[in-house]
């Protein structure tokens, strides 16, 4: 017990008396964590933005006025059987006519032309939403059956095809770029931290040698460095959390403008706090303990 | 107390530090081991604290055969032999008091005992007033006295001093030698490794001469003869 207390005492003494080095280590860890969180936020925002755009895309299937209700229901059931379809909204002829009149209520010429036609020239409409924009093509192809040719007047997907393809391409590229940047940054961070700890250990090489000569066990030499690693990890996490808290509060109002759904990064972080803090604490701890362990291994050989 | 039987230490085929050394030092002796740089003095001291292992032969400290000592036992051995070095080897970020206390802390001594023993040790070397100073704030002689106080922390039966006066002027050298003599008078075996002719000649004690890794002379009340 006394030995454990001494390990802690030596660790705190080391931190205090090497304050410059301690500050630099924590500073680099904080920078690394902030950068990781920035990338993390970009990833979250990208996902949210893509989700938002995807959500606004759908395919409308316009039936001819002659299409009967049971025929429309049959196609509706057929479309429901596709696992890619997440939502189907059907509007009957009257609803479509009503919607048309509402849209053009300020245009008497259009309404006049409609009246001249007499009766309801519109057929029912089905609005289809799929999981991924890429799935729309599959739905369109599935509807290209000879028995449906006379029932379906138009499919609005053609108008969205380019937009959907562009979003698909941008999303894929963005995800790849963010992933690449994340990996690159993780590697750079590891090298920087490893080197910082290695330099710290190197400068204390003589000191470790003296401790060994005086009869200190390896545990008594290694222990304080491990405690220091844990201390630096906790300290850097707390500082990062404080900076992040204010940073997110600053960014959130701007996000509210971009995301009308009311998406907030602060809320996201709070609802995932255990996961985010846990993963980052574990990563930093592994990084610091592994670096100091590797750097010390050579020095502790008797 | 110290038995060195047929010890050879080879670092590489072109670097043989010690050749078939046989040595027996009794308890309470004050022995000077002399020789020029590269004669094998430091290798001998490193073998005694298991910093190096003999290539051939055996070493016994009391009844303890340390020739093939395990890594776990090394700290225990080092707590039983007081070591003094030419470059003092003090921890720069610890005060004089903490440097001496560290030797007791690593052995698991209680804080109460540390608070009791360290001032006594500092008093023996005459540095009670410098307890709160860091090594960089002390002179060479004072630093070496702190190192001596640290070496005495475990009340060792043996003290190995490797060129303890190598960095000191004649006045400080004299003071350090007087302290070592005083320690020896209380029954501690002293092994002084040096190439300081004046020190050896003034001691009138046993002198072992090392040349090219071999003992060439062993005089009971010897002089520096190289």
Q: Spell out which residues of chain A touch residue B110, defining contact as CB-CB under 8 Å.
A: 2
The answer to whether B205 faces chain A, any CB pair under 8 Å, is no
CB-nearest to A17 from B72, B74, B93 is: B93
Give the model confidence (pLDDT) of A100-133 as tens digits: 888 888 888 888 888 887 788 888 888 888 887 7
The answer to whether B16 faces chain A, any CB pair under 8 Å, is no
In chain A, where are the structural domains located? 2-53+167-299, 58-132
Residue predicted with more confidence, A94 or B216: B216
| Interface contact flag, B106 A220, Cβ < 8 Å | yes
The sheet carrying A125-130 orders its strands as A85-91, A125-130, A59-63, A152-155
Q: Spell out which residues of chain A touch residue B94, defining contact as CB-CB under 8 Å.
A: 13
Question: pLDDT band for position A301 (50/70/90)?
Answer: low
| Inter-chain CB pairs, A–B, below 8 Å | 53
**A88 Cβ partners below 8 Å, 6+ apart?**
A76, A79, A80, A126, A127, A128, A129
ipTM given for this complex: 0.81
The answer to whether B93 faces chain A, any CB pair under 8 Å, is yes
**pLDDT > 90? residue A6:** no
**DSSP at B168:** S
Nearest to B127 by CA among B102, B173, B95: B95
Percent of chain A with pLDDT over 70: 88
Give the residue from chain A lying closest to B78, CA to CA: A215
**pLDDT > 90? residue A37:** no
| Interface contact flag, B89 A216, Cβ < 8 Å | no
DSSP letters along chain A, please? -HHHHHHHHHHHHHHHHTHHHHHHHHHHHHHHHHHHHHHHHHHHHHHHHHHHHHHH--EEEEEPTT--HHHHHHHHHHHHT-TTEEEEEEE-HHHHHHHHHHHTTT-HHHHHHHHHH-S-----EEEEEESSTTHHHHHHHHT--HHHHTTEEEETHHHHHHHHHHHHHHHHHHHHHHHHHHHHHHHHHHHHHHHHHHHHHHHTHHHHHHHHHHT--HHHHHHHHHHHHHHHHHHHHHHHHHHHHHHHHHHHHHHHHH-TT---HHHHHHHTHHHHHHHHHHHHHHHHHHHHHHHHHHHT--
Give the bridge partners for B31, in sequence order: B191, B206
| Interface contact flag, B105 A17, Cβ < 8 Å | no
pLDDT on residue B85? 92
Calculate mean pLDDT across residues A277-286: 87
The answer to whether A187 faces chain B, any CB pair under 8 Å, is no
| Interface contact flag, B108 A2, Cβ < 8 Å | yes
Q: Where exactly does CATH 3.40.50.300 map onto chain B? A: 1-80+157-226
Alpha carbon of A154 to those of A122, A125, A161, B159: distances in Å? Answer: 12, 10, 14, 101
Give the model confidence (pLDDT) of B38-67 as tens digits: 899 999 999 999 999 999 999 999 889 998
Please tell me whether residue B222 adopts helix, strand or coil conformation: coil
Question: pLDDT band for position A167 (50/70/90)?
Answer: low
Give the model confidence (pLDDT) of A39-98 as tens digits: 788 778 877 877 777 777 778 888 888 888 888 888 888 888 888 888 888 888 888 888
Give the model confidence (pLDDT) of B151-183 as tens digits: 999 889 999 999 999 989 999 999 999 999 999
CB-nearest to A217 from B50, B51, B75 is: B75
**pLDDT > 60? residue A302:** no
CATH 3.40.50.300 fits B1-80+157-226, yes or no: yes
CB-nearest to A214 from B78, B92, B110 is: B78
């Amino acid at each position: 017990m006394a030995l454990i207390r001494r390990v802690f005492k030596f660790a705190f003494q080391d931190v205090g008396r090497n304050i410059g080095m301690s500050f630099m280590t924590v500073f680099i860890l904080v920078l690394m964590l902030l950068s990781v969180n920035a990338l993390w936020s970009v990833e979250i925002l990208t996902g949210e933005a893509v989700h938002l755009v995807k959500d606004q895309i759908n395919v409308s299937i316009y039936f001819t006025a002659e299409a009967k209700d049971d025929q429309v229901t049959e196609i509706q059931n057929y479309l429901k059987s596709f696992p890619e379809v997440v939502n189907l909204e059907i509007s009957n002829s009257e609803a479509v006519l009503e919607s048309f009149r509402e849209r053009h209520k300020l245009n008497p010429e259009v309404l006049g032309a409609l009246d001249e036609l007499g009766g309801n020239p519109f057929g029912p409409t089905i609005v289809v939403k799929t999981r991924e924009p890429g799935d729309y093509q599959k739905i369109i192809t599935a509807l290209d059956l000879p028995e449906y040719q006379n029932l379906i007047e138009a499919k609005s997907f053609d108008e969205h095809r380019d937009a959907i393809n562009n979003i698909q391409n941008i999303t894929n590229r963005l995800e790849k770029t963010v992933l690449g940047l994340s990996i690159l940054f993780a590697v750079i961070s590891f090298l920087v931290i490893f080197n910082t700890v290695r330099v710290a250990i190197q400068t204390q090489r003589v000191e470790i040698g003296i401790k060994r000569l005086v009869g200190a066990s390896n545990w008594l030499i290694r222990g304080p460095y491990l405690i220091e690693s844990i201390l630096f990890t906790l300290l850097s996490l707390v500082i990062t959390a404080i900076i992040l808290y204010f940073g997110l509060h600053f960014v959130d109002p701007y996000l509210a403008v971009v995301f009308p759904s009311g998406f907030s990064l602060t809320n996201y972080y709070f609802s995932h706090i255990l996961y985010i803090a846990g993963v980052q604490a574990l990563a930093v701890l592994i990084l610091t303990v592994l670096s100091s362990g590797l750097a010390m291994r050579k020095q502790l050989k008797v | 107390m110290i038995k060195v039987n047929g010890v050879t230490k080879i670092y590489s085929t072109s670097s043989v530090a010690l050749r078939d050394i046989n040595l027996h030092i009794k308890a309470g002796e004050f022995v000077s081991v002399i020789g020029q740089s590269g004669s094998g003095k430091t290798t001998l001291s490193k073998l005694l604290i298991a910093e190096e292992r003999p290539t051939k032969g055996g070493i016994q400290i009391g009844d303890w055969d340390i020739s093939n000592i395990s890594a776990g036992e090394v700290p225990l051995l080092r707590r039983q032999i007081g070591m003094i070095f030419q470059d003092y080897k003090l921890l720069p970020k610890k005060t004089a008091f903490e440097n001496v206390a560290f030797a007791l802390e690593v052995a698991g001594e209680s804080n109460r005992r540390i608070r009791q023993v360290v001032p006594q040790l500092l008093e023996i070397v005459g540095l009670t007033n410098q307890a709160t100073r860091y090594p960089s704030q002390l002179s060479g002689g004072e630093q070496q006295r702190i190192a001596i106080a640290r070496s005495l922390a475990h009340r060792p039966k043996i003290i190995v001093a490797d060129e303890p006066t190598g960095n000191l002027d004649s006045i400080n050298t004299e003071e350090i030698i007087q302290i070592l003599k005083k320690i020896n008078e209380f029954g501690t075996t002293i092994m002084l490794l040096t190439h300081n002719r004046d020190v050896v000649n003034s001691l009138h004690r046993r002198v072992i001469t090392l040349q090219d890794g071999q003992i060439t002379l062993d005089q009971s009340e010897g002089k520096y003869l190289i």
